[in-house]
Amino acid sequence: MAEQTNEQVTWWHWHRKLYNWVVHWADTRFGVLALIVLAITEPICVPIPADVLVIGLCMGRPKNSIKYGLLCSVFSVTGGTIAFSLGLAIGPERVVHFFDVLSVGPIQLADKAQQALELYQRYDSWAIAISALTPVPYMLFSWLGGMAEVSLLKFIGISIIFRTLRFGSEGLLFYLFGEKARRLIEKYFNIATVVVILLLIVLVFVMKKISHLFS
């Protein structure tokens, strides 16, 4: 079961109170429904990572852990696609104009915003993959992907791979190791994601070299 807390949280620590409220759903019969709702809304507007509810549910029913991880992956990509579509509806012109209005004195925020969008377009695959896999906010990069008008199919495809790698791995660890998996995730998650990113860089480099050999 999810770890309960009796800690009194002051009213202005809204993020912690929201976190506690999200985690408590793992101990109710609406846990799976809450996971689906959180997975969809997290990439749009909720600042609580869906991992906390995946872990809470997995601790209660380790044999269903893979199902929880895959459910979270599918609906997280759904939410990311919604955020992407909203960003696409806003468009880069409105974003640049918005920051232009905010510009004061010599600081030209519109130029910075334009550069940020162009940078995203140039490294879109890496930006999507890293945000989908690591603690870097997937919400931010989902919105930015639409605003930068990158390929929707690319966004969905990469998101499916790396959200499944993230949440599916958490589910698999609980399925295999039970309670011990929580300590493994807390201790090695960041290290593991860095290793995966480095392996991806090596893979891309090797693939480029191979493609040059046959070109």
Total number of domains constituting the chain? 1
Query: CA–CA separation, 192 vs 135, rounded Å?
Result: 12
Question: Cα–Cα distance between 44 and 138 in angstroms, integer?
Answer: 9
In angstroms, the CA 164 to CA 171 distance is 10
Task: Indicate the SS3 state at residue 5.
Answer: coil
3 within a domain of the structure (yes/no):
no
In a domain, 32, yes or no: yes
C-alpha closest to that of 73 among 100, 107, 50 = 50
The answer as to whether 108 is a domain residue is no
Q: Report the pLDDT value the prediction gives residue 150, as an integer from 0 to 100.
A: 93
Alpha helices in the chain (DSSP H): 14-24, 31-41, 51-60, 65-102, 109-122, 124-133, 138-147, 152-163, 169-177, 180-213
Model pLDDT, residue 39 = 96
Per-residue pLDDT of the chain (215 residues; tens, 9 = 90+): 444 444 554 544 556 676 677 778 888 899 999 999 999 999 999 888 898 899 889 888 889 999 999 999 999 999 999 999 999 999 999 988 887 877 666 556 788 788 889 989 988 888 888 888 876 789 999 999 999 999 999 999 999 999 999 999 889 988 888 777 777 766 766 666 666 666 666 655 665 665 565 55
What is d(CA 35, CA 72) in angstroms, rounded to the nearest whole number?
A: 7
The answer to whether the CB of 86 falls within 8 A of the CB of 146 is: yes
Q: Is 99 within a domain?
A: no
What b-and-e string marks burial along 183-210, b requiring 16 or more CB atoms within 10 Å of the CB? eebeeebeebbeebeeebeeeeeeeeee
Question: Is residue 188 in a domain?
Answer: yes
Tell whether 112 is covered by a domain: no
Is position 140 within any domain? no
**How many Å apart are CA 121 and CA 119, to the nearest integer?**
5
SS3 letters across 32-49: HHHHHHHHHHCCCCCCCC
CA distances from 77 to 71, 162, 179 (A): 10, 10, 27
What's the pLDDT score for residue 70?
A: 96
Containing domain of residue 175, as a range? Answer: 14-87+151-213
In the three-class reduction of DSSP (H, G, I as helix; E, B as strand; rest coil), residue 161 is classed as helix
Question: Are 139 and 44 a contacting pair, CB within 8 Å?
Answer: yes
Is residue 169 in a domain?
Answer: yes
